[in-house]
Structure 1
Amino acid sequence: MKSIDLTPLYRSSVGFDRLASLIDSALTTDATANGYPPYNIEMRDENQYAITLAVAGFIQAELDIQVEKGVLTVRGTKNAKDEGRYLFQGIANRTFERKFNLADYVEVTDADLSNGLLTINLVKEIPEAMKPKSIAINHRGNVLEHTAEEKNTKSDKVAA
Structure 2
Amino acid sequence: MMRTTDIAPLYRLTVGFDRLLDLMEQTSRVEPMTGWPPYNIEKTAAESYRITMAVAGFGPDEITLTQTGTTLLVTGQKNESDESRQFLHRGIAGRSFRQTFNLADHVSVTGASLDHGLLVIDLVREVPEALKPRRIPIGAGSPAPARIEGRAEAA
Q: Return the letter of the residue paired with 1:86.
A: L
Aligned positions of 1:30-45 closer than 5 A: 31-45=31-45
SS in 2 for 1:22: helix
Q: Return the letter of the residue paired with 1:32.
A: P
Work out the CA distance in 2 between the residues paired with 1:34 and 1:95: 12
The structure 2 residue matched to 1:84, chosen from 86, 101, 109, is 86
User: Per the alignment, do residues 141 and 7 of structure 1 end up closer, same or farther by CA in structure 2, a change over 3 Å counting?
Assistant: farther
User: Per the alignment, do residues 109 and 98 of structure 1 end up closer, same or farther by CA in structure 2, a change over 3 Å counting?
Assistant: same
Task: Give deviations 1:1-42, integer Å, cap 9, x for gaps.
Answer: 65433345434432221222222323332x421011000001
User: Per the alignment, do residues 66 and 112 of structure 1 end up closer, same or farther by CA in structure 2, a change over 3 Å counting?
Assistant: same
Q: Return the letter of the residue paired with 1:114.
A: D
TM-score w.r.t. structure 2 length?
0.81
Contact 1:3–1:24 at 8 Å: present in 2 too? no
Match of 1:56 in 2: 56
Work out the CA distance in 2 between the residues paired with 1:25 and 1:34: 17
SS in 2 for 1:132: coil
* Structure 2: runs of 5+ lacking an equivalent: 147-155
Match of 1:65 in 2: 65
Q: Return the letter of the residue paired with 1:128.
A: E
Q: Return the letter of the residue paired with 2:87.
A: R
Work out the CA distance in 1 between the residues paired with 2:76 and 2:33: 16
Work out the CA distance in 1 between the residues paired with 2:103 and 2:5: 21
Task: Give deviations 1:80-100, integer Å, cap 9, x for gaps.
Answer: 24262334x321110000000
Give the deviation of 1:133 after TM superposition.
Answer: 1.6
Aligned length: 143
Overall identity of the aligned pairs, in %: 45
| More helix, by proportion | 1
Give the deviation of 1:57 after TM superposition.
Answer: 0.1
Which structure would you say has the larger Rg?
1
Match of 2:100 in 1: 99
SS in 1 for 2:20: helix
Work out the CA distance in 2 between the residues paired with 1:46 and 1:8: 35
